[in-house]
Structure 1
C-alpha cells in the first residue's frame, strides 16, 4: 500500500478544500453578519495541515492500484467532510457540539440534506452559503466518482459505465482519461448550476437565494436557506423550476455529455434507464395527486398538482426539498415517497438511492427467473435496451442489493438500541442511507432531537450510501489489508 502517496494526495485535497472557506468569509463581509472569522480560521488550519501533509511526501508519486483507489475514495469523503466541520465547530452562533458539526458537514458533502439546525432563517449569511456550497462541491465529487472512478474499481453494477469496455451504454461512454472526463463533467455541472440560478432569479428569488438553491438543486442536496425550505417562497413558478432542474440532475451525466456531443436529444429517448426514471416520476405524481384530491387534503386541483409534482420529484430523486410537510399527508403517501427514495436517481447522477438502473436490472432478473420456471430448459438473456448483459453485471447488482439491505438493517437496529422509536429509526436510516434528508416521526423536520450515538450511526449511513456500499465495505475485509 502506497501510504505516503495517499497522504500526499490527501494533503493536496485538504489544501484545495481550504480555499473553499474563503467565499463564505467574503459573503460575511458583504452582509456584515460577523460570521466570517470562523471560516478564516478554518482556512488557515486546513491550509497548514494540507501543506504539512503534502510537502514531506511531494516526491512520492506512482501508479495507484485498485486497492489504493478504494482507500483514497473513502478517505476523500471522510477526511474532507471532517475538515469541513472545522468552521462549524468554531462558530459562536450556532454553538454546535462535535457530533452536530460533523453531522451537518457530512450531510452537506454527501448531499444528504439532513440537518440538525433550527431557526435557519436567523443564521449568518456566511453559514447559509457554506452549507449550500458544501452540497455543490459534494455533488461534483459524486459525478466524478460515479462516472470516472467507481466503474474502474468495478463497484456493484457500475461496470455498465466502464470506459474501457463495450457495454449497454456504449453510446454514452466518456473519454477514457479521468482528467478529461472530470473536465467535461465540470463544464456540464457548472453550466446547469448557472442556468438554474438564473431561472430561480427570473421567477422571483433574490440573488443570494437563487445562487444558494441552485447549488443544492443541481447537487440534489436539499439544504435551504430557510426553515420552510421551498415553501418559504410559496411560488408555483419556483417549484416548477426546481422540479425541472431536479429531473435534469437526476439523469446520468454521461448521458448529458452524449447529448451535448451528438447535439441530439435522441440519446435520451434511446436510454432505458432514462425512460424508467421519467416513468417513475409520472406514476408517483399521478398517485399523489389522486390520493390528495380524493382525501380532500387540497380542494384546488392546481394546488394539489403543484404539491404532488414537487414532493414526488423532490423525494424520489432524494433531494428532500419541501413545500409542505409531506409527513402530514394521508398515510399511504409519506411511506410511498420514502420507499421511492430507495430507487433514487439514475446511475452517474447526483441523486442517491440504489439507482434506477440497478432496480431495473433486479426487475429484469426477477422476470427471467419466472420465465425459467415456465420453461426450465430455455436460455434467457437479460437485455438493457437491445444489448445483452453479461451475468457478472447482474450478479454484482444482486450483491449490491444484499449489502444495501444488510447495512440498512444493522443501522436501523443500532438506532432502535439507542432508544429511537420504530418509525423514526426506519425513516432516519432510509433518509441518510439514500442521501434523502427528511424522514418521518422525530426527524420529519430536522435531526436535532436524536442522541449523539444515533447521529454518528447516521453519519456512517450517509457515507455508505454515498460510496455505493462496496467502496466502504471492502475496507472491513481482512483480505484488503494483506500485502
Structure 2
C-alpha cells in the first residue's frame, strides 16, 4: 500500500468537503437565525487539516492500488462522518450530545434519514440546509465526484470508483474514462436535482423547502425540514412530485444517461432490472392500497391510494419520507414494507438495500436449482436478457446475500442484548443497513430514545449499508493486510 498517495488523496478530499460548508454559511448570513459561527469554524478547521495532510505529499504521483482504494473510501467516509458531526455538536441551537451529533451526521451522509432531532421546525435554516446537503453529497458519493478531478492531479481514480460502488455491475462504465463516467453521473444527478426542486416549487413549496427536499429526494435520503416530513405540507401535488422523483432516483443512473444520450426511453424497457424494479413497486403499492381500503383504515379509495402508494414507494425505495405513520397500520403491512426495503432500488442508483439486480439473480438461481432436481445432468446457465451470467458473479451474489443476512442477525442480537425489544431491534437494524431511516415501535418517529451504545451499533450498521458490506468488512480480514 502507498501511504503517501493515500494521505494525498485523503487531504485533498477533506479540502473538497470543507468547501461544501460554504452554502450553509451563506444560508446563515441570509436568514440571520444562527449557524454562522459553527459552520465557519468547522470550515476553517477542516480546510487547514486537509491542507496540512496534503501539502507534504503533494508532489507524489502514483496509481492507486485496489487496497489503497478501499482504505481511502472507508477512512474518508468515517472521518467525513465525524467531521460532519461538528456543526451539530458546536451549534448552541442544536442541543445534541457527541454521540447524537455523530449519529445524525452519519445518517445524513449515508442517506439513511434516521434522526435524533425533535423540533426541526424551530432549527436555524443553516442547520436544516446542512442536513439535507449531507444527504445530497452522500447520495452519489462525494468520492465519485472527486475522481472526476483526480486525473488532473496525476492520480488514477478507478480504484476509488470500484471501492465506492461495489456490486454485480460495478465495472460497467458509461464512458471510456473513469473521470468521464463520474462527470456523466453527476450531470444526471444534478439535472434530476434541479428538475425536482423546480417541480416542488411549482407544486407549492417555498424555494427553501423545494431545494432542500430535492436534495434528500434525489439522494433517496428522507431527511426533511419539518418534523412531519412530507405530511407537513398536506398537498397531494407535492406528494406526486415526491413519488415521481423517488421512483426515478431508484433507477440505475447509467440507464438515465443512456436514455438522455439517445433521447429515447427504450433503454429502460430492455433492462431486466428496471422491469423487476417497476414491477415490485407497482405490486407493493397495489397491495398496500387494497389492504388499507378493505381493512377500513381509510374510508375511500382516493385516500387509500394516496397514502398506500406514497408509503409503498417511499419505503420500498429506501427513501423514508412519510405522509402518514405507516408503523400503526394494521396487520402485516408495516412488516411487508420494511421487508421490501431489503430489496431496495437498482444497482447504480442512490437507493439502499441489497439491490434489485441481486434479487433477480437469486430468484433465477433458485429456479435453476429447482429445475436441476428434474434434470440433474443439464447445463443451465443463469441468463439476463439472453446473456449468460458468469458463475463468478453468481457466487459473489450468493456470498453478498449470506454475509448481509448474517451481519443483520448479529447486529440485531447485539442491540437486543443492550435492552432493545425484538420489533424495535429488527426494524432498526433493517432501517440502518438498508439506509431506510424510519422503523417500527420505539424507532417509528425518531431514534432519540435509543441508548448511546445502541446508537453506535446503529451508526456502524449505516456505514455497512452505505458501503455495501464488503467494502468495510474487507478491512477486518487478515488477507487484506498481508503483503
TM-score bucket (shorter structure): over 0.9
Which digits, 9 at most, give the CA deviation of each residue in 1:338-396, with x for residues without a partner? 00000000000000000000011000000000000011111111001211111000000
Secondary structure, aligned partner of 1:480:
helix
Residue 160 in structure 1 maps to residue 169 in structure 2: yes
Aligned to 1:40: 40
Give 5+ residue unaligned stretches, structure 2: 148-156
Aligned to 1:323: 323
Secondary structure, aligned partner of 2:117:
coil
Give yes or no for contact 1:149–1:178 (8 Å, CA) kept in 2: no
Measured after TM superposition, the shift of residue 144 of structure 1 is 3.6
Measured after TM superposition, the shift of residue 60 of structure 1 is 2.3
Cα 1:152–1:46 change in 2 (3 A) is closer
Measured after TM superposition, the shift of residue 154 of structure 1 is 11
Aligned to 2:196: 196
Give yes or no for contact 1:113–1:438 (8 Å, CA) kept in 2: yes
Aligned to 2:92: 92
Aligned to 2:275: 275
Which digits, 9 at most, give the CA deviation of each residue in 1:123-145, with x for residues without a partner? 11110000000000101217949
Which digits, 9 at most, give the CA deviation of each residue in 1:280-313, with x for residues without a partner? 1100011001110011000121111011110000
Measured after TM superposition, the shift of residue 149 of structure 1 is 5.7
Which digits, 9 at most, give the CA deviation of each residue in 1:302-335, with x for residues without a partner? 1110111100000000000000100011121100
Residue 135 in structure 1 maps to residue 135 in structure 2: yes
Residue 388 in structure 1 maps to residue 397 in structure 2: no
1:17-166 mapped onto 2 (5 Å cutoff) = 17-141=17-141, 144=144, 152=162, 158-163=167-172
Aligned to 2:422: 422
Aligned to 1:299: 299
Residue 225 in structure 1 maps to residue 234 in structure 2: no
Q: How many angstroms apart in 1 are the aligned matches of 2:161 and 2:87?
A: 34
Secondary structure, aligned partner of 1:320:
coil
Which digits, 9 at most, give the CA deviation of each residue in 1:129-168, with x for residues without a partner? 0000000010121794999767746987x243424xxxxx
Q: How many angstroms apart in 2 are the aligned matches of 1:9 and 1:300?
A: 57
Aligned to 1:361: 361
1:233-382 mapped onto 2 (5 Å cutoff) = 233-382=233-382
Cα 1:313–1:149 change in 2 (3 A) is farther
Q: How many angstroms apart in 1 are the aligned matches of 2:142 and 2:306?
A: 29
Secondary structure, aligned partner of 1:342:
helix
Give yes or no for contact 1:114–1:437 (8 Å, CA) kept in 2: yes
Cα 1:142–1:352 change in 2 (3 A) is farther
Aligned to 2:150: none
Q: How many angstroms apart in 2 are the aligned matches of 1:180 and 1:253?
A: 14
Give yes or no for contact 2:66–2:159 (8 Å, CA) kept in 1: no
Cα 1:149–1:313 change in 2 (3 A) is farther
Secondary structure, aligned partner of 1:306:
helix
Secondary structure, aligned partner of 2:343:
coil
Q: How many angstroms apart in 2 are the aligned matches of 1:381 and 1:121?
A: 55
**More displaced stretch, 192-201 vs 53-62:** 53-62
Secondary structure, aligned partner of 1:381:
coil
**More displaced stretch, 55-64 vs 319-328:** 55-64
Aligned residues: 473
Q: How many angstroms apart in 2 are the aligned matches of 1:383 and 1:21?
A: 47
Q: How many angstroms apart in 2 are the aligned matches of 1:461 and 1:125?
A: 29
Please, what is the CA RMSD of the aligned residues? 1.7
Which digits, 9 at most, give the CA deviation of each residue in 1:96-139, with x for residues without a partner? 11110100000001000000000111111110000000000101
Q: How many angstroms apart in 1 are the aligned matches of 2:25 and 2:314?
A: 31
Cα 1:478–1:461 change in 2 (3 A) is same
Aligned to 1:168: none
Secondary structure, aligned partner of 1:345:
coil
Give yes or no for contact 1:114–1:447 (8 Å, CA) kept in 2: yes
Which digits, 9 at most, give the CA deviation of each residue in 1:267-290, with x for residues without a partner? 000000000000011000110011
Q: How many angstroms apart in 2 are the aligned matches of 1:305 and 1:120?
A: 28
Aligned to 1:413: 413
Aligned to 2:447: 447
Residue 468 in structure 1 maps to residue 468 in structure 2: yes
Give 5+ residue unaligned stretches, structure 1: 164-172
Measured after TM superposition, the shift of residue 419 of structure 1 is 0.6
Measured after TM superposition, the shift of residue 30 of structure 1 is 1.1
Q: How many angstroms apart in 1 are the aligned matches of 2:470 and 2:368?
A: 26
Which digits, 9 at most, give the CA deviation of each residue in 1:247-269, with x for residues without a partner? 10000001111111222110000
Give yes or no for contact 2:65–2:159 (8 Å, CA) kept in 1: no
Q: How many angstroms apart in 2 are the aligned matches of 1:382 and 1:461?
A: 32
Q: Give 4+ residue runs of structure 1 displaced > 6 Å after superposition.
A: 145-148
Measured after TM superposition, the shift of residue 73 of structure 1 is 1.5
Give yes or no for contact 1:112–1:436 (8 Å, CA) kept in 2: yes
Q: How many angstroms apart in 1 are the aligned matches of 2:352 and 2:59?
A: 37
Q: How many angstroms apart in 2 are the aligned matches of 1:125 and 1:237?
A: 24
